[in-house]
Amino acid sequence: MKAKDTFFCSTFSLNCRGRLIEFNEPAVMGIVNLTPDSFYTSSRAMVETDVLKLCEKHLEEGAKILDLGGCSTRPGSEQPSEKEERGRVFPLLTLVRKHFPEALISIDTYRSVIAEEAVKEGADLINDISGWTIDPNMLTVAGRSGVPYVLSHIRGTPETMHLHTEYNNVLTEVAQYFTVKAETLRDAGVKDIILDPGFGFAKSFSDNYRILNNLDHFTRLGFPVMAGLSRKGMIQKALDINAAGSGDGTTVANTVALLKGASIIRVHDAKPAMDAVRILRNLN
């Protein structure tokens, strides 16, 4: 079934290290946390067998992108040293690239030196939660990397972002942030940009849901939009549950994001995310 025959009427493509990948429907990005302290314990994988098992599960269930990160960015988290992040990421990135040569691999980091080396080792995208506000050199690295860049909205850092949740109009301010930064990325040489409004990153509970309900506000900027809602506090709080119990709520939130035009959904659980995509394929 072609995209024009389904609810997903728009397509997008990404140039990943010289390989043009075309998407006729939204893509699922599977989270692979190479950390001991990510907020959802079942997403943590730090030894080879666990990492390969999780990556294989994501891919078998329909994920197109594997997002590897060695630095937890949950609210209030303490950040590891560059040496610690490097030690977590590179042995396992090399392993994943070797075992899954056709998979798209995203490196989830805000450190430019980690991003640059990861691309050399086979990463296909840079997913920077900071929009280069933490490491300004990321802009230069992104420009010369030749891979897509995920431009996320945040204020402050993971340790301080909970102190920066006041907006006059969150939709307008996030859109302005994207517009200015996307132009800067273009000038730096980045060809493919993905927008991530940063659910849970310097946003209040109500602002998170306002962004979700108006996600199409950002699709109008002309770039693919990624929604990272999986098991986050906005879902836990709405349902009065913990991360482990928030799977069904995540599927509902992801379905809303897809209905509002998300091109990529970043998740801990690929199967229910793909189930949502498969159901929506039938809308016309």
Q: CA torsion, points 174, 177, 182, 188, in degrees to nearest 10?
A: -150
Residue count (the chain): 284
Residue from 4, 266, 271, 281 carrying the catalytic annotation: 266
Please state, in angstroms and rounded to a whole number, the distance separating the CA atoms of residues 240 and 192.
Answer: 38
Residue 164 identity? H
As given in the structure block, the two tokens for residue 177 are: 């942030």
Q: At what angle do helices 138-145 and 170-188 cross, to 10 degrees?
A: 60
Residue 266 known to be catalytic: yes
Residue from 86, 97, 181, 232 carrying the catalytic annotation: 232
Q: Is there a contact between 110 and 129 (Cβ–Cβ < 8 Å)?
A: yes
Q: Which helix (H) or strand (E) holds 67?
A: strand 65-69
Tell me which DSSP letter residue 225 carries: B
Residue 232 known to be catalytic: yes
Q: Where are the alpha helices (DSSP H) in 131-269?
A: 138-145, 170-188, 205-213, 216-219, 233-239, 247-259
List active site positions.
Answer: 232, 266
